[in-house]
Structure 1
């Protein structure tokens, strides 16, 4: 392992240092006047391949860096109304100035042509027309086909494999990271181009002082004032009657922008996630989170398949959102943003599972079957108010948000284990209230900057889980029910968190230093009560029977962390370095006197985070990262009274166990290439980590398949290393975009099972391919597939724990659209998901057929779509792991037919 890392790092630094040369100078005309926007390219003699390029600035100056093993290279200069110039030069560092001769260009006809991909500085621009097909309607449809850009299933946009940090429309951040609504509903015809802003620092006062390794997306519209949007209204036949409504009007002006969005359907579209924050900006903007519930308690959940959500989601959803931005001063430096959304969603889910547990020295082999039917009900609302000033001479941002949940879940379970069968009805009510306020301001002071940040969060979670009849909870050798119809678990969590910091930044010769002091505080109160069940009396005199207080908790968990840190940043044309070097004083305390819980940790830690990136030869970037972090657990690691987190598990921590202490060391390297001149993008990544823990879990399974988890105080490690790479290229001649990706990840960890230790090693590999083609006027094709393999190896001195299990998978999606007559489209979609483990193989195929007529004059589409033509009603899968073999059958959406009218608002 160490040899591989050393070899990789040696190759990495060899790439950085081998034959790098820099040529600079000035381009002028015959009269000595500077020529801006002239292109300077470096090529190897006799080869039609550009090694590097540069564009002259307003003073006619250029600088180009390249790598070549040749002794001589060709330098070419081109500019409008100037005679092209070519000169062979030595492969060495030098300064070269050129005078170009005027040469008027005779234009025989007026024809405007736009390059598909252009680059200027850190901005790469994509002409949307070059990548769309006749069937595309929205921005998201086209974004998925652009080389170097990927759109995940949750809507997250990746550039060169990394998530973006900002999403702008005409330079304004209306959505504050929740850009899914615009991406899915902005008509492609309103967009002029998509810009990738590499190394984007969103805080203007920090630009050229504090670098960033993340990219941003800016959507440049055709008009500076645009009223647009997208709508769909559909109905269909199925069981039950189907509907689908999407109404998303938008306005983008120079002073204000707004988006209103209402979507409802019962046909399996997961529209409620469009409001999630996908891009979190820069740490100097303050802290923003996707507010969520502390859902400790759950009914037993039916399984979900590895399929597109539309294949199995039985839903009835209503999602309403509104986003508004306006400038509130004449200089347009201050912005007010108001965002709100509301979700009402009901989901049904059903699955059957049969699990065969292997025999161990403590337990014989056993079989457990379960049939689970669920109803999940989501009611939530969120409001957010943001004041922002983002100017070269100062920064201010205050974000206030409030979230409220009124969720409820239901479960009906039939369970068979051993010789017993049980029927249980489960219900949970879980209201949650959450309030956050985040403030960050940067004030210039002479040549320095003062940054003050404050974050406050208060959240209450109240959950009540009921199981009827209580006898369903009989767990052999552990718990039994009292004579009662209902077993009930009550839980309440109150959490208060406050983070405050101040730093002073000053710059010198490209370096910026930011010393900072801060104080982080968090306290959580946990109150629980478990009623109508009792422990089976122990026959072992050394194991005391539980006392009445064992069925409740009243725990206070507090973390106080004062810290001091030094930020170091450097930026030049080639180098970008930033590091944060904090020293933290961690003070953690957990107290529940009645349960005899009294734990504390007082420890000083040094947790550096370092990043370095080097740009060379115009198209290349190489980077190294490293960090050390510590985690000391949360309130869920400290309670000792029984807690029914689910009807199939009643848990308690050992009061004598110390507070967990987890130390993580990680590092990685990355090489990236993006060449807009030949439409080629690729990246290679390697990362490794080592997590050291002071506690190790030791699960013990009984014959009914229930598992009791206890923790042992013993140092243990989990080590991970992974490699990934992706290559993507657009072929203009064939109107084809293609990419290939590969990943290989290995995790090795110490583990316990039934009081026996073993080493568990998991290796997962995957190969992916994406392809889309619009070469033919009568057809377009989108195709992607993934081949995966997972192998688990358990090694122990105990023979019963030694085993090797593997699982193979193949997923592919094919979308073919035919255009036999103008304005008529016939579409075919094929989803295939295959899995195999041992001798068991399951193939799951799904087919859709559609016909669309486009009323071109009114920009209205009429679509008739038949989904799941084969009427496949269940998904089957087979899994093997260290302790068991499982067969699962999951209910799917049946065949359905939809008629939809789609239109633009303008």
Structure 2
């Protein structure tokens, strides 16, 4: 009896060994179309409860080894391929996976309104811009901590900025109103505030700055190509018009900017070329205009806002070209501004006595200003050496014609000219022990002035010429 029992148990054990799954399987996974081996395929053994029991991944040659002691099936997963499931008893010598496109769900990344990057505060323009904004200055005005004065000066935390960059280039200088008032908000990605900015590398870690710099970071599609804005408007009765053209190109080696404006609505476009001279090349006590106008017979003072009283024809033309070679940068500016103004006023005085005739006085005045400026800046900015030279040549014409009519008549003509050449130089030399600073200004100013008065019983002339060499 024992012999039969032993024989029966041996038979069952043999059958169990013949039907049991192997503990380790080996194989190779390839692309079903190209036949190339697939590395990085995730191979998993799954039990009867559909849970992963063990896993492995294919090597560079597509081979794999997997322990499937308690598994009933094996799955193969890979990005870009259809998931494959096989039984543990199948042949794994050559597993072929079919390519399949993998669709990813949409991912939306939102930039924060403001974020800090070291000493730089970055404002996301898209978060602060509004549809009605004409230029980037409209966005800058509403940024927290920033204020724009009436003359266009940008102030951060109560102090004027000491540098203005576009994509890290200081090619505009102090006339940054040209960029802020004309550059479209759609071309600017962010406004970066460089806190405690020291623009002179030779003074870094020596002279602390409590002022900030501003950098406009352009969008990718606004770089390395010409961008611009053209605007125009007109009205009737009386005929009013305002037109402007602005174009700019920021490249790695050379930068260009051109501006044209004409206006007769009361606005003076020359306010955009005001020099916000944030870098003093000499002592603040220096007075550049110690000689006032001797002839000022055409001076007019009106206690109302200019835009409510100006009867004008104003023009502006500006061209800026800047280029850089290593640590040396050059900038050439050409400016023309013209402004013609017409004034008119009248006074009638009645007296109680009929024996005294009424006093009537009608005044008319026309003034014109033409200003042409050429400016050449050269700068070397290194950690141990700084040199800046600014050469400016300016020609200014100011004319006026006035007439008085009524109880008496009088005519007056004023001519003023200013021809000047000014050269500013600053040198900073630094080594381990010493810091040497040299600043200088050399200037020549020639100012001829003329006055001619004509009337019923008068004809007089006056000439005053002054020349100032310093």
Q: 2:331 aligns with which of 329, 337, 341?
A: 337
Equivalent residue, structure 1, for 2:156:
159
Equivalent residue, structure 1, for 2:46:
none
Question: In the alignment, is residue 439 of structure 1 matched against residue 412 of structure 2?
Answer: no
Following the alignment from structure 1 to structure 2, what is the Cα–Cα distance between the partners of residues 292 and 343?
A: 24
Equivalent residue, structure 2, for 1:386:
377
Q: CA deviation at 1:439?
A: 1.4
Equivalent residue, structure 2, for 1:216:
213
> Do the aligned partners of 1:202 and 1:281 also contact (CA within 8 Å) in 2?
no
Following the alignment from structure 2 to structure 1, what is the Cα–Cα distance between the partners of residues 298 and 348?
A: 15
Q: CA deviation at 1:487?
A: 2.6
Distance 1:438 1:369, change over 3 A: farther
Distance 1:298 1:370, change over 3 A: farther
Following the alignment from structure 2 to structure 1, what is the Cα–Cα distance between the partners of residues 465 and 109?
A: 66
> Do the aligned partners of 1:177 and 1:279 also contact (CA within 8 Å) in 2?
yes
Q: CA deviation at 1:466?
A: 2.1
Q: CA deviation at 1:333?
A: 0.7
Equivalent residue, structure 2, for 1:714:
none
Q: CA deviation at 1:459?
A: 0.3
Distance 1:377 1:284, change over 3 A: closer
Deviations 1:16-49 (A, max 9, x none): xxxxxxxxxxxxxxxxxxxxxxxxxxxxxxxxxx
TM-score by length of 1: 0.37
Map 1:257-336; keep pairs closer than 5 Å.
Answer: 257-283=255-281, 294-307=292-305, 309-327=306-324, 329=325, 332-336=326-330
Q: 1:184 aligns with which of 177, 181, 185?
A: 181
Following the alignment from structure 2 to structure 1, what is the Cα–Cα distance between the partners of residues 118 and 283?
A: 25
Equivalent residue, structure 2, for 1:784:
none
- Three-state SS of the structure 1 residue aligned to 2:196 is coil
Equivalent residue, structure 1, for 2:392:
401
- Three-state SS of the structure 1 residue aligned to 2:110 is coil
Q: CA deviation at 1:109?
A: 5.8
Distance 1:369 1:390, change over 3 A: farther
Q: CA deviation at 1:379?
A: 1.3
TM-score by length of 2: 0.69
> Do the aligned partners of 1:400 and 1:437 also contact (CA within 8 Å) in 2?
yes
Map 1:658-677; keep pairs closer than 5 Å.
Answer: none
Equivalent residue, structure 2, for 1:63:
none
Following the alignment from structure 2 to structure 1, what is the Cα–Cα distance between the partners of residues 395 and 290?
A: 10
Q: CA deviation at 1:437?
A: 0.6
Equivalent residue, structure 1, for 2:107:
110
Equivalent residue, structure 1, for 2:198:
201
Deviations 1:154-192 (A, max 9, x none): 222222333222211112111110111111110101101
Question: In the alignment, is residue 143 of structure 1 matched against residue 140 of structure 2?
Answer: yes
Distance 1:454 1:144, change over 3 A: same
- Three-state SS of the structure 2 residue aligned to 1:297 is coil
Q: CA deviation at 1:121?
A: 4.1
Q: 1:253 aligns with which of 246, 251, 254?
A: 251
Equivalent residue, structure 1, for 2:462:
489
Q: CA deviation at 1:117?
A: 1.9
Q: CA deviation at 1:393?
A: 2.6
> Do the aligned partners of 2:281 and 2:424 also contact (CA within 8 Å) in 1?
no
> Do the aligned partners of 1:291 and 1:434 also contact (CA within 8 Å) in 2?
no
Distance 1:108 1:281, change over 3 A: farther
Structure 2: state its 5+ residue gaps.
Answer: 1-103, 350-358
Deviations 1:518-561 (A, max 9, x none): xxxxxxxxxxxxxxxxxxxxxxxxxxxxxxxxxxxxxxxxxxxx
Deviations 1:446-502 (A, max 9, x none): 432222222101101111122222x8xxxxxxxxxxxx52233321221122xxxxx
Deviations 1:140-166 (A, max 9, x none): 121222222222232222223332222
Following the alignment from structure 2 to structure 1, what is the Cα–Cα distance between the partners of residues 299 and 384?
A: 53
Equivalent residue, structure 2, for 1:375:
366
Distance 1:260 1:110, change over 3 A: same
> Do the aligned partners of 1:286 and 1:453 also contact (CA within 8 Å) in 2?
no
Following the alignment from structure 1 to structure 2, what is the Cα–Cα distance between the partners of residues 345 and 267?
A: 12
Q: 1:412 aligns with which of 403, 418, 423?
A: 403
Q: 1:461 aligns with which of 447, 456, 467?
A: 447
Following the alignment from structure 1 to structure 2, what is the Cα–Cα distance between the partners of residues 290 and 187?
A: 36
Following the alignment from structure 1 to structure 2, what is the Cα–Cα distance between the partners of residues 456 and 349?
A: 39
- Three-state SS of the structure 2 residue aligned to 1:279 is coil
Following the alignment from structure 2 to structure 1, what is the Cα–Cα distance between the partners of residues 226 and 285?
A: 32
Equivalent residue, structure 2, for 1:168:
165
Deviations 1:319-339 (A, max 9, x none): 111011101x3xx21011100
Distance 1:116 1:409, change over 3 A: same
Following the alignment from structure 2 to structure 1, what is the Cα–Cα distance between the partners of residues 341 and 109?
A: 52
- Three-state SS of the structure 2 residue aligned to 1:194 is strand
Following the alignment from structure 2 to structure 1, what is the Cα–Cα distance between the partners of residues 276 and 136?
A: 17
Deviations 1:61-104 (A, max 9, x none): xxxxxxxxxxxxxxxxxxxxxxxxxxxxxxxxxxxxxxxxxxxx
> Do the aligned partners of 1:165 and 1:282 also contact (CA within 8 Å) in 2?
no
Greater gyration radius: 2
Q: 1:430 aligns with which of 413, 416, 434?
A: 416
> Do the aligned partners of 1:398 and 1:438 also contact (CA within 8 Å) in 2?
yes
Following the alignment from structure 1 to structure 2, what is the Cα–Cα distance between the partners of residues 290 and 260?
A: 29
Task: Count the aligned residue pairs.
Answer: 356
- Three-state SS of the structure 2 residue aligned to 1:205 is helix
Following the alignment from structure 1 to structure 2, what is the Cα–Cα distance between the partners of residues 222 and 369?
A: 63
Q: CA deviation at 1:344?
A: 2.5
Superposition RMSD in Å: 3.0
Q: CA deviation at 1:313?
A: 1.8
- Three-state SS of the structure 2 residue aligned to 1:182 is helix
- Three-state SS of the structure 2 residue aligned to 1:136 is coil
Following the alignment from structure 1 to structure 2, what is the Cα–Cα distance between the partners of residues 284 and 392?
A: 21
> Do the aligned partners of 1:142 and 1:188 also contact (CA within 8 Å) in 2?
yes
- Three-state SS of the structure 2 residue aligned to 1:185 is coil
Following the alignment from structure 2 to structure 1, what is the Cα–Cα distance between the partners of residues 298 and 335?
A: 29
Map 1:687-726; keep pairs closer than 5 Å.
Answer: none
- Three-state SS of the structure 1 residue aligned to 2:202 is helix
Structure 1: state its 5+ residue gaps.
Answer: 1-106, 356-367, 416-420, 472-483, 498-906
- Three-state SS of the structure 1 residue aligned to 2:307 is helix
Deviations 1:706-753 (A, max 9, x none): xxxxxxxxxxxxxxxxxxxxxxxxxxxxxxxxxxxxxxxxxxxxxxxx
Map 1:353-364; keep pairs closer than 5 Å.
Answer: none
> Do the aligned partners of 2:202 and 2:429 also contact (CA within 8 Å) in 1?
no
> Do the aligned partners of 1:230 and 1:249 also contact (CA within 8 Å) in 2?
yes
> Do the aligned partners of 1:293 and 1:461 also contact (CA within 8 Å) in 2?
no
